[in-house]
Chains A and B, each alone.
Chain A
Amino acid sequence: EAGVAQSPRYKIIEKRQSVAFWCNPISGHATLYWYQQILGQGPKLLIQFQNNGVVDDSQLPKDRFSAERLKGVDSTLKIQPAKLEDSAVYLCASSLEYPQGWGTGELFFGEGSRLTVL
């Protein structure tokens, strides 16, 4: 079974530039997550999709970050304009939807996209 695919693996940009990350979840997984992991810290949830609807985006800095999941499969996360503090690994994860509609916490992560903002 193919895992969660992410690209690019690495990206270096200047501050105020824009960047986009792509994620393809495991086939059949209804829920997709974007996490931000700053060096030395645990992952922090940015946004969660259930199919193509947003479940939680309370920690997404909406003035500069946007995300979409068209057709309930692939997703893109965009940052525009980037700031120095956005330097981090952006992790995409997916999970099955629990039959009762509650998450189990059992997430499958991709390898991440490492962003460096200069």
Chain B
Amino acid sequence: GQQLNQSPQSMFIQEGEDVSMNCTSSSIFNTWLWYKQDPGEGPVLLIALYKAGELTSNGRLTAQFGITRKDSFLNISASIPSDVGIYFCAGLFTGNMLTFGGGTRLMVKP
């Protein structure tokens, strides 16, 4: 089946630093999404991207849909302690089957 590879697997940064993470696949997708999961909670949608090359922002978060449709990245600027959590990319090709990556665990040191 389709697999999404996220990197890095974990990051430990200082508050105020910028963060960058990405997601790659051997398959193409029509939609890329980024979710965040806090401990003991379900994932929450952060950003959805629907067109190759699209760059979308949501506050301090910026995500891009790769031109090849096989990758996406997420940037977080000026990180704060509440950014701590696990960030998942997810891809959708056809129909409704959403595939998730393995996640990037972000830890922020105040």
Contacts and interface: CB of A to CB of B under 8 A. Distances in A.
Interface stretch (B38-46, B60-68, B74-82): B38-46
Interface string B85-110: 00010101011111111110000000
Given A106-B33, A106-B48, A41 B103 contact: yes
> Secondary structure at chain A's binding surface: helix, strand, loop or mixed?
loop
Contact of A56 (B4, B90, B97): B97
Contact of A31 (B44, B96, B103): B96
Given A42-B88, A105-B90, A106-B33, A111 B97 contact: no
Contacts of B44: 109
Contact of B33 (A42, A105, A108): A105
Nearest to A9: B40
B31 interface: yes
A98 B90 CA distance: 18
Residues of B in contact with A, size category:
20 to 34
Nearest to A44: B100
A43 interface: yes
B42 A112 contact: yes
A86 B7 CA distance: 27
Nearest to B89: A42
Contact of A41 (B41, B48, B95, B102): B102
22 contacts: A4-B42, A40-B102, A41-B102, A43-B100, A48-B96, A48-B97, A50-B96, A55-B95, A55-B96, A56-B97, A102-B94, A102-B96, A104-B48, A105-B33, A107-B43, A107-B45, A109-B41, A109-B42, A109-B44, A111-B41, A111-B42, A112-B41
